[in-house]
Structure 1
């Protein structure tokens, strides 16, 4: 699914079920909170921290989806076309890093 469709889907959900968007500052705080939940799972499940029993049932996919949802909300309410922004970012990274990663001995 294209990002544009995801942005529209989130906007329709907000208008149907969410009443309205939270303001941008509230959504930024929520995004930070959701990112922290992703970090906690990664640190404990894949990093060196021990995973608490209560963390073992946490769904990484669900937490990543939370980050995506709030990111889409922020894009919608600030007028950002994420598909266009993402396409430009991929082009920029491709041009800038054309050989960089291929020549990185640390990645071999």
Structure 2
């Protein structure tokens, strides 16, 4: 899967810079978040969070919650996440059509 990710577009951001999309309908149980956190702890950030320039998460809300859980568990509020910025989100944010 990593081969499909444009590494040049992936950045490392502090978890605190990211914020969930308020209208995200997907909800994760604590058990699911703990499982994602265990995967991140074991394998690292193998799949980046997709975010707009302003930090709004477009995809990866479970990974964001797991990253926050890891930061609390490790006592490191400066935990970082791999983030892929969305070109489509940048276009839409400027009021342009992405199509």
Q: TM-score, normalised by structure 2?
A: 0.28
Query: Higher strand share goes to which structure?
Result: 2
Provide TM-score, normalisation by structure 1: 0.27
Q: Which has the larger radius of gyration?
A: 1
